[in-house]
Amino acid sequence: MHRTTPFAAAVMAVFATPLYAQTTTPAAAPAASIAQADSSTPPASQPSASQPSDNATLPAVKVTGQADNSGDFQPETSSVGAKVPTALRDIPQAVTVVPKAVLQSQAVSSFSDALRNVPGITIGAAEGGQIGNNINLRGFSARTDIYLDGFRDRGQYYRDTFNLESIDVLYGPSSLYFGRGSTGGVINQVSKEPELKKRADVSVQAGTHDRYRTTVDLDTPITDTSAFRINAFGQSLGSSRDVMKSKDYGVAPEVKFGIGTPTEITLSALIQHNRDQPDYGIPPLNGHPAPVNRGTFYGYTDDRTIQDVQTFSARIQHRFDDGLVLRNQTQFSHYSTEARATNAASVLTGPLATSTALTNGNFTTLDPSQLFVKLQGKDRNINDHSIYNSTDLQAKFDTGPLKHEVVTGVDLSHETYSNQSFTATSPGLPSNTIGVVPLIDPPYTPRPSNVKEVATNLAESSANGVGIYANDTVSIGQHWKVVGGVRWDRYEASIRNSINSPRYATQTNYFTSVRGGIIWQPSDWQSYYVSYGTSFDPSLEALTLTNGQQNLPPEHNKSYEVGSKWDLLGGGLSVTQSLFNIEKTNARTLNADGTYTLDGDIRVRGYQLGLAGHITNKWQVFGGYTYMNGEILKAFDGTQGKVPANTPRNMLTLWTTYAFTPHWEVGGGPTYVSSRYAANNNFVQVGGYTRWDAMAAYHAKRYDIQFNVLNFTDKNYYDALIPSDGGRAVPGLGRTFLATLNYRFF
Quick one: pLDDT at residue 214? 98
Quick one: pLDDT at residue 62? 38
Q: For the segment 270-308, what is each residue's pLDDT rounded down to a tens digit?
A: 999 999 998 889 999 999 999 999 999 999 999 999 999
Rounded to the nearest 10°, the torsion over CA 271, 277, 283, 287 is -50
**Closest by CA position to 741, among listed 212, 247, 232:** 212
Whole-angstrom distance, CA of residue 651 vs CA of residue 646: 12
Query: 175 — phi, psi (to 5°)?
Result: -65, -15
Per-residue DSSP letter, 397: E
**Closest by CA position to 654, among listed 674, 670, 673, 672:** 670
Average pLDDT, the chain: 89
3-state secondary structure (DSSP) of residue 22: helix
Whole-angstrom distance, CA of residue 124 vs CA of residue 657: 29
Q: What is the C-alpha radius of gyration for the chain, rounded to an integer number of angstroms? A: 26
What is 77-214+380-421+457-744's CATH number? 2.40.170.20
What does the DSSP assignment read for 97-128? EEEHHHHHHHT--BHHHHGGGSTTEEEE--BT
Quick one: pLDDT at residue 27? 34
All residues at 6 or more sequence positions from 646 whose CB lies less than 8 Å from its CB, including other chains: 122, 123, 124, 136, 139, 676, 677, 678, 721, 723
* Residue numbers of the chain with a pLDDT score lower than 70: 1-70, 126-130
Quick one: pLDDT at residue 130? 63
CB 326 within 8 A of CB 309: no
Q: For the segment 54-78, what is each residue's pLDDT rounded down to a tens digit?
A: 333 333 333 333 344 567 999 989 9
What's the pTM? 0.89
Whole-angstrom distance, CA of residue 468 vs CA of residue 176: 9
Whole-angstrom distance, CA of residue 441 vs CA of residue 427: 24
Q: Which amino acid is at 731?
A: P
Distances (CA, A) of 409 to 208, 265, 397: 50, 19, 17
Element (H, E) at 6: helix 6-15
Contacts by residues 701-704 (CB-CB < 8 Å, ≥ 24 positions apart): 701/39, 701/40, 701/744, 702/743, 702/744, 702/745, 703/741, 703/742, 703/743, 703/744, 704/42, 704/740, 704/741, 704/742
Quick one: pLDDT at residue 69? 55
Q: Across 322-451, where does the E strand assignment appear?
A: 324-340, 342-348, 372-377, 380-399, 402-425, 435-438
Distances (CA, A) of 559 to 169, 398, 640, 642: 16, 30, 21, 21
Buried b / exposed e over 104-127, threshold 16 CB at 10 Å, is bbbbbbbbbbbbbbbbbbbbbbbb
Quick one: pLDDT at residue 124? 84
Whole-angstrom distance, CA of residue 214 vs CA of residue 68: 24
Q: Which amino acid is at 586?
A: N
Whole-angstrom distance, CA of residue 176 vs CA of residue 154: 19
Strands 134-137 and 199-207, how do they pair? unpaired
